[in-house]
Amino acid sequence: MSQKSGTHFTEKQGHYLAFIYTYAHMFGRPPAETDMQRHFRVSPPSVHQMIVTLERNGFIRRQPGVPRSIEILVPPESLPILEWLGIKTSKSLTRSPLSLRHTPSLGYLRIPAATPPRW
């Protein structure tokens, strides 16, 4: 199933898609539903329903019975949260001079790597 032409996702769907994209680039594998449950602080059925909805709308693809098999079908540059964070999709996140740091209230943010103070 491929992304439906002209279909747009909601803000909440965009957050889930951005989380899946960012998680996969940070950890080298897609997130499990429990990872999304912890991040968004929602119930397991809520996460599962969102995943089913994203798949039904053609934004992701999964392999039945295979854990962590979520594949994003949306172009990364169309994810609004990544645009807001200033993440350049043409470069690998791991090779970027900026790193992603988790903050409890805001999720993952790009923060310049700290430089040691000069004494």
All structural domains of the chain, each given as residue ranges with its CATH number in brackets, are 11-112 (1.10.10.10)
Question: 4 or 61: whose pLDDT is higher?
Answer: 61
- Sign of the Cα pseudo-torsion (30, 32, 38, 42, in order): positive
Question: 44 or 88: whose pLDDT is higher?
Answer: 44
Question: 78 or 85: whose pLDDT is higher?
Answer: 78
Tokens standing for 102? 């988790």
pLDDT at 99: 45
List, in order, residues 6 or more apart from 26 with CB less than 8 Å away. 93, 94, 100, 108
Mean pLDDT across the stretch 1-9?
58
Q: By percentage, how much of the chain surpasses pLDDT 70?
A: 61
Q: Rounded to whole angstroms, how far apart are CA atoms 70 and 24?
A: 9
The answer to which of 36-40, 67-71, 98-102 has the lowest mean pLDDT is 98-102
- pTM (2 decimals)? 0.65
Per the CB < 8 A criterion, the answer to whether 55 and 1 are in contact is yes
- The answer on pLDDT for 12 being more than 60 is yes
